[in-house]
Amino acid sequence: GAYLFLVFFAWKKNFYLKEIILIGGLFSFVSIFSYTMSETLILPFVFIFLYLAHQIITEKLKGLKAILYLSLVLIALYNIRYPALFIMFATGVFGVFNYKKSSGKTFIYSGIIGLIFVILYKFLFIDHFNEKYVDSFLEIGLHSTSKLLTELFEGLTTVFNPFIHILNPAGGIVNYGIIGIGLLNIILMLFLFLKNKLTETEKFFLTIGTIGIVCSFFIQYFYSVNPLDYRLLAPFTLSIWLVYFKKLYDLFGKLTYAITFFSLLTGFAFTYLSRGNYLENRQKIKTFLHTENLENGRINFYMESEEELEKIRIAELISTVNPNVKVTFKPNDTLKNNTLTKYKVLQKIKIDKNQFQ
């Protein structure tokens, strides 16, 4: 649904239609569109935001109407995902560097309005339910710089690898190939951006993407999040991919579609290789839950960390039978009758899987 909206909006507004079709076919974005998570919802709003910014830069949208529309979209983005705060900041920064232009002032005012909303949201809504909410999740020095830089490098080289967007958790030589392709693509991106003259709209797109990624990196010093990957960075990489594919299309024309074609081909190959007998596995889970009297009601699934992919897959499989599954990281919860663990599940059933998963 999100991808169809992006294509329809791009076609209706005659705005980066070729580029959005190319991006939507990349294996990483196909994976995002298949999620039922906030990343899928935020991408259409990011695209609308980029369109409004283009209208403002080209002076087709001006004055109070421009400020109102842009501010509302920024607020909508923040209500979907908190990292939209970085988009607000980037919008203001771009405005500061272009303050002599009318569009620059619009970006500054919209960014400020967005930040005012965030502050009011904190004091009037969040504090009403939990005054110590911010203090509870902010903690300085969570990770070392060397660890974060390694994760950033791996994250960016997979994010900008148009064919394979994840590394093998077990390591191995295949990861060097994945990282190498991503690194070469980043170098090509930088070359095209530096060699070709950028329009004001393209400069804005790259500013949003770059500042968003930089802020996502530095927030990890204070706020515990998963390592940066294609999913977390999608709201910021979308604008960079748009500019990149536009430059590629200007150079190679329809041959650019080959990138998306081979990306989809890679996706189909990985999906086929990593297949398990889903229907059989689901039937086993259904029988297991029936035996445990857990077909209905809340189920807690215990994990030690969010990086345990095999456990996540088991929890996802359980959710196909009983969607009321909540992941818990509290060892005490394992004492409850409605709490399942990987050991408890696999002790009674065998899930069909293969090495490629």
For the stretch 34-43, pLDDT in tens is 765 677 889 9
User: What are 313's two structure tokens?
Assistant: 């897959």
User: What are 78's two structure tokens?
Assistant: 């923040």
For the stretch 305-356, pLDDT in tens is 766 767 877 888 888 788 888 888 888 888 888 888 888 888 888 776 655 5
Compute CA 55 distance to the chain's CA centroid, rounded to the nearest angstrom. 25
- How far apart CA 256 and CA 250 sit, in angstroms, is 9
**DSSP alpha helix (H) spans, the chain:** 2-13, 17-24, 27-33, 38-57, 63-80, 84-97, 102-121, 127-129, 133-137, 145-159, 173-195, 200-218, 230-252, 257-273, 278-291, 309-319, 342-346
Q: Residue 275 has what pLDDT?
A: 63
> pTM here?
0.78
142 vs 11, which has greater pLDDT? 11
Backbone torsions φ then ψ of 340, nearest 5 degrees: -110, 155
pLDDT surpasses 60 at 199: yes
Instruction: Calculate what percentage of the chain has a pLDDT beyond 70.
Output: 89
